Amino acid sequence: MVYDFEIYSKPNCTYCEQAKALIKSRGLAYRELIIDVGQPKETDKNYVTVHELKSRVPDAKSVPQIFKGSDYVGGYDALKKILAA
């Protein structure tokens, strides 16, 4: 499947949920990469380590961290701006 966005997220993240809902509301697809914080794992989800996120976004201090293809978007506010354009 081809995804319009990749979203690094973590459990119980309000902005992550808002970002996913915004992308869905535009009829776009995303791939979620969930930061492993020791939570129980679901078999159909993609989990990554903090190190994996930091290797792609060295200055990341929060989630979501969003990419459009290979281009770094930023967080939820940046996503809102590019989808409004």
- Mean pLDDT, the chain cut into blocks of 10 residues (85 residues total): 92 97 97 94 95 96 95 97 92
Cβ atoms within 10 Å, residue 61: 7
Let me know the angle formed at the C-alpha of 71 by 49 and 82, rounded to the nearest 5 degrees: 110
Domain with 77 in it: 5-60+68-84
| CATH number of the domain encompassing residue 32 | 3.40.30.10
Report pLDDT for 62: 94
Overall domain count for the chain? 1
CB-count burial class (<10 Å; 0-12, 13-18, 19+) for 51: exposed
Q: What is the dihedral of CA 71, 37, 43, 55, to 10 degrees?
A: 30
Residues 37, 9: Cα–Cα separation, whole Å? 11
Report pLDDT for 1: 72
pTM of the predicted model as reported, rounded to 2 decimal places: 0.93
